[in-house]
Amino acid sequence: MTITVDEATKELLARDRESADKSRAEAFEKLARGRPTPTQEECDASKAGVAIWEHEDDGSGPEIHPLLAHRSMGAAPAKPAGSYQTRQASSRASGSGSGSSHSG
């Protein structure tokens, strides 16, 4: 079976491959310049009972937590109360339909 791929698809796949390679290279670069946090010295000090409140910079740059980034976009405005319609319960007229009264 021969698979034929048109030029547009080949171009799309090539761009996707380039993007993945670039992302991978950036991740490896970040790992190469970073250091573990906490450092071994901080671990040793902590083991000795020293409270470590701030860690040495690990060189990775600022960390943006996904939940905090979401909050900075702002919350959606609240809808005013009563902005939706509800069904009203209707009572059946007495004597119509199959009533609950028994004759007897």
pLDDT in tens, 23-74: 999 888 877 777 777 888 888 999 999 998 887 777 767 767 666 655 555 5
Output the six-digit token pair for 62.
């600022």
Q: How confident is the model at residue 99 (pLDDT cuts 50, 70, 90)?
A: low
With a pLDDT cut of 90, the percent of the chain lying above it is 18
- pLDDT at res. 16: 94
Enumerate long-range contacts of 89-94, CB under 8 Å, 24 or more apart: none
Q: Where are the alpha helices (DSSP H) in 1-104?
A: 7-33, 40-47, 66-72
- pLDDT at res. 52: 83
Whether residue 96 is predicted with pLDDT greater than 70 in this model: the reply is no
- pLDDT at res. 85: 75
Output the six-digit token pair for 24.
């991978």
